[in-house]
Amino acid sequence: MHEVQDDESQIVLDILWSDPTDTDNELGIYANHLRDPSETGNIVKFGPDRVETFLKKNNLNMIVRAHECVMDGF
């Protein structure tokens, strides 16, 4: 799924493909060229400021996120 038909499909796309920025110094939202090679602009990288806002807004302490196998560890 890489196409956005409506708000709901954008949410699913964000959950599946968006990644955190490479460093904590990058704030805001950036194009994710690795996951969006056709540059549709629908797949992004998000900064730590966006995570903090999400946590506060939803009264959460942390987000646990993973989608790759780790052979040794968590």
pLDDT digits (tens, 9 = 90+) for 27-55: 999 888 888 777 777 788 999 999 999 99
pLDDT value at residue 46:
92
What is the mean pLDDT of the segment spanning 22-27? Answer: 93
Predicted TM-score of the model (pTM): 0.71
Determine the Cα angle at 15 with ends 36 and 1, to 5°. Answer: 50
CB 11 within 8 A of CB 2: no
Q: Which of 24, 43, 16 is nearest to 32 (CA)?
A: 43
b/e per residue 27-42 (b: at least 16 CB within 10 A) = eeeeebeebbeeeeeb
Q: Which of the residue ranges 15-19, 35-39, 57-61 has the most confident prediction, judged by mean pLDDT?
A: 57-61
- Is the pLDDT at 3 greater than 90? The verdict is no
CB 48 within 8 A of CB 62: no
